[in-house]
Structure 1
Amino acid sequence: MPNVTLFHNPRCSKSREALALLQDAGCQIDIIEYLKTPPDAATLKQLLSQLQLTPRELMRTKESEYKAQGLDNPALSDDELIAAMVATPKLIERPIAIVNDEAVIGRPPEKVLTLL
């Protein structure tokens, strides 16, 4: 089984389900609790490249912080959105599983198994 890096929030049911699926599959898992150790801008840019997403597509747009910080403004640059996720990691969609150069968002949780 491959080594999997998982950006994980233990309070999120989808994140817990994805972790359980990877454990059941016998994967070696490096867990990053991204709320405790948020990714920096360079890491987020790498993740976005691996996920083939724009910064806004990686954001949890229904979080109160999204609206409160004015992040729904379409004029904001990618760098501004990335800076917002670095400052407020709660805005990052989860869970994110990475194997080698491939990454997926585990929504639904079973999607993480596509990397195996």
Structure 2
Amino acid sequence: MADVIIYHNSDCGTSRNTLAMIRNAGIEPHVVEYLKTPPSRVMLLQLIERAGISPRQLLREKGTPYDTLGLGDESLTDAALVDAMMTHPILINRPLVVSPLGVRLCRPSEVVLNILPEPQRGAFAKEDGEQVVDAAGNCILPA
């Protein structure tokens, strides 16, 4: 069985949908509730690098102190943005998924289908009813 890790926030619908798609592939991932146990700075930097994104691309604005901290200032360095995420883990966008096929920020949630080592085992619809995978396990939406 492949080792898959999801940096998860159970209050986030996108994160819940992503976790459900991982499980729909027959994989029980390691679930890291990153607000309770945030990644170390080294791990966060590794995740960012492996996902092929910048710290700014990982920043979450909605429901966070993003505006209060002035994080929209384009002159802030990557190090400053990572410092903010370390101090306020809610600023780390979610869900981040690690699999043998790569690391992705799974927004939208169906992005996870690109890195799962196992196919979907059947139909899947998001919490809002949007069909993502058909009964044969084929992705309906572009992932």
**Structure 2 equivalent of residue 15 of structure 1:** 15
Amino acid at match of 2:5: T
**Aligned pair 1:6/2:6, yes or no?**
yes
- Please say which of residues 58-67 and 6-15 is displaced more in the overlay: 58-67
Q: Structure 2: 5+ residue runs without aligned partners?
A: 117-143
Q: Which residue of 2 aligns with 1:67?
A: 67
Structure 1 residues 40 and 53, CA gap change in structure 2 (3 angstroms): same
**1:47 Cα deviation (Å)?**
0.7
- Alpha carbons 1:8, 1:15 under 8 Å: kept: yes
User: Secondary structure in 1 aligned to 2:7?
Assistant: strand
Deviations 1:43-102 (A, max 9, x none): 111011111111101001234400101111112111110010011111111111101371
**Taking structure 1 as the reference length, what is the TM-score of the superposition?**
0.93
**TM-score, normalization: structure 2?**
0.76
1:88-107 alignment, distance < 5 Å: 88-100=88-100, 102-107=102-107
Q: Percent identity?
A: 39
Residues 2, 28 of structure 1: 8 Å contact kept: no
Counterpart of 1:29 in structure 2: which amino acid?
A: P
1:40-79 to 2 correspondence within 5 Å? Answer: 40-79=40-79
Aligned residues: 116
Please give the root-mean-square deviation of Cα atoms over the aligned residues, in Å.
Answer: 1.3
Distance 2:63 2:74 in 1: 17
Shift of 1:21: 0.7
More helix by share: 1
In the aligned structure 2, how far is the partner of 1:115 from the partner of 1:82? 25
d(CA) in 2 for partners of 1:100, 1:84? 29
Where does structure 1 differ by over 2 angstroms across 4 or more consecutive aligned residues?
A: 61-64
